[in-house]
Amino acid sequence: MTSPEDVATPRAQAFYVPRLLRAAEVVCADGRVLRGRVFLPAAAESHPGALRMAEWLEEPGCFFPFLPDGEGRPVLLSKQQLIVVTVAASVEDETADSGVERKRIRVECGVLRLEGEVVIDMPASHSRVLDLLNRPGDFLALRNGDHNLFVRKSRIVRVAESGAARA
């Protein structure tokens, strides 16, 4: 059994992964809307900088810590029960998506209606919204102004293109 003193030892700290708090709004399957912070790893293995929200959501693991606004302790949320996670768009998102085709779409998740642009960063033979939706991964990334919305694909009922494609 470990004592409280063991937690502060250099050996215990070797397992600490630096995290960044990122403001987020979460819409849950039961209709609750939670505002608070998610904990993103401060470093990514595949690129410089912090792990991007889209990458983090697709990582294995059913639960994640979420710090609700006004509360001092995190709660654990189930990724399976998320409908939408909204975060402010970052400079890294802009850079990663520059020069690729975008399509404007409307997404319906039950009574929830969302609109935004999706990035079509796939070969020309797979550049339809249908191809993007059927691609592996649990979340669809939508850009709406200065926010990114990550919509759980399994909660999507209907999708319609609402504008011309642009690059």
pLDDT digit string (tens) for 102-125?
Answer: 899 999 999 999 999 999 887 777
CATH 2.30.30 domain locations along the chain: 91-161
Confidence of residue 19 (pLDDT cuts 50, 70, 90): confident
User: Would you say residue 3 has pLDDT above 70?
Assistant: no
User: Would you say residue 5 has pLDDT above 60?
Assistant: no
The CATH code for residues 91-161 is: 2.30.30
Minimum mean pLDDT range among 61-75, 93-107, 146-160: 93-107
User: Would you say residue 133 has pLDDT above 80?
Assistant: yes
Average pLDDT, the chain: 85
Whether residue 124 contacts residue 81, with contact meaning beta carbons closer than 8 Å, is answered with no
Tell me, what's the pLDDT at 150? Answer: 97
User: Would you say residue 86 has pLDDT above 90?
Assistant: yes
